[in-house]
Structure 1
Amino acid sequence: MKVSNSNNRFCAFLRGVNVKGTNMKMAEVCSVFAEAGMKDVSSVLASGNILFSSEKKVEELKKTLEETMSAHFSYEAFLFVKSQREIETIFRENPFEINPGYHIYGFVGVDGIEKILMSEFEKSRKASGEAAQIISGNFYWTVPKGNTLGSEFGNILGRKNLKNSFTSRNLNTFEKVLKKI
C-alpha cells in the first residue's frame, strides 16, 4: 500500500450529517468515497469528517464527491474539502483562549464566506463573552457552552440561504482530524 504524503491528504467536512433526518453511517460514507476513487479513506467522529488521499484538485474533488454523495444517499450533499495544511492552519491560528466554559468553532466554506459570517455576527445580539474573528481568511466563533443554538448568531447559521456556503466544527474536531490525518 502506498503511503500518502501531506500534499495529497484531505478532509471532506460534510454539512448536515446526522441531523434533521439525514442519517448516515460513516462506514457507508467511506465506502462511497472509495467508490468515487479516493484512497486511504477513514472517518473521524460521526459528524461527517472524512479523511482521504487523492491526486485530484480540490475543486474537482468537491464536485465529484458532492455528486456521488447526493446520488448514493438521495439528498443534496454539501461538503468542503480542506488539505492537511489548511486544517493545520485553522487549528494553529485559533485566536481564542481555550476556556472550559466556552466552545470555539472554526468554519470552512466557499471563498468569501468569512466576510458574510462576520457581517452577520456584527449585526447580531451577543451573549456575554461571545466573540468572532477572522484570521488568515478563516472565521472563528467562541460562545459560552449551552448558548450555541440559543444565540442569535447560532440561529443565523441555520438559515437555508447559507446552507451550501459553509459548515463549522468545534476546534476539538479539527484537533482529532489532525491526529488521524
Structure 2
Amino acid sequence: MKYCAFLRGVNVKGTNMKMADVCQVFKEAGMLDVNSVLASGNIIFSSEKNAAELKKMLEKAMSDHFSYEAFLFIKSQDETQVFWNSIPFEKNEALHIYAFVGNPGVENVLMSEFEAASKTENEKAEIVEEILYWQVPKGNTLDSSFGKVLGKKSLKDQFTSRNINTFEKILKKMSS
C-alpha cells in the first residue's frame, strides 16, 4: 500500500535534516519506493504493514537516527486524497489554507483553541471529514493568535499541519 508520512517539526527550530537522509532511514526500516516531497518532511513510501505499526516503527527509527523525539502521522493514498478533496474554502491569492494531520479527535481540540483565539479579518476554521482546515491571511500565519497555539508543547505529539498546496504535490507524486 502507498502511504505518506507527515513529519512534525522538521527543518524548524534547529531540527534540520536532509530529506535524502530521512529517505535513507525509511529504506533501512524496510520501506519501498521511498521519495520525499518538499523539505518539510513529507515522505511517500510503500509497505504491507498497517499505519499504526508503521508509525511506531518509523518514529523509533527517526528518533534513533537523528537523536530527537520524532512525531509522524501516516496516511494512505486514499486518506491523503480526502485532505485535498474536502477543502471548504475558496482558493484566494491573499490567503493561506492549512489542513491538520493528526491523531483521531485532535480536530476538535484544535477547533476549541481556534474558537478561543482572537482572529484577523478573513481568518476562519472548519472541520470537514474529521479534518480541521484553517484559512489565514498570508503573512499572518505565525503572528495570529491561533498560530501561536499551534506551537504548544502539550500538542506536539498530536498533529502537524500542511498548506493545502502541499497535498496537491504529494498526491501528484503518489500517483506517478
TM-score norm. by structure 1 comes to 0.96
Query: Which residue does the alignment assign to 2:47?
Result: 54
Q: Which residue of 2 aligns with 1:82?
A: 75
The one-letter amino acid of 1:110's match is N
- How far apart, CA to CA, are the structure 1 residues paired with 2:169 and 2:93? 17
Task: State whether structure 2 residue 83 is matched by structure 1 residue 95.
Answer: no
Instruction: Establish whether residue 137 from structure 1 lines up as the match of residue 136 from structure 2.
Output: no
Does residue 20 (structure 1) correspond to residue 31 (structure 2)? The answer is: no
Give the percent of matched residue pairs that are identical in Structure 1 and Structure 2. 65
- The residue identity in structure 1 corresponding to 2:6 is F
Aligned equivalents of 1:120, 1:19: Cα separation in 2: 22
Counterpart in the other structure of 2:25: 32
Q: Which residue matches 2:109?
A: 116
Report the secondary structure of 1:147's partner residue.
coil
Which residues of structure 1 form unaligned runs of 5+?
1-7
With structure 2 as the length reference, what TM-score do the two structures score? 0.98
Q: Structure 2: 5+ residue runs without aligned partners?
A: none
Q: Which runs of 4+ in 1 moved over 4 A?
A: none
Secondary structure at the counterpart of residue 71 of structure 1: helix
Q: Which residue of the other structure, out of 99, 102, 111, is the alignment partner of 1:106?
A: 99
Q: Cα RMSD (Å) of the superposition?
A: 0.4
1:3-44 C-alpha deviation (Å, 9 max, x unpaired): xxxxx1000000000011111000010000000010000000
How many residues are matched? 174
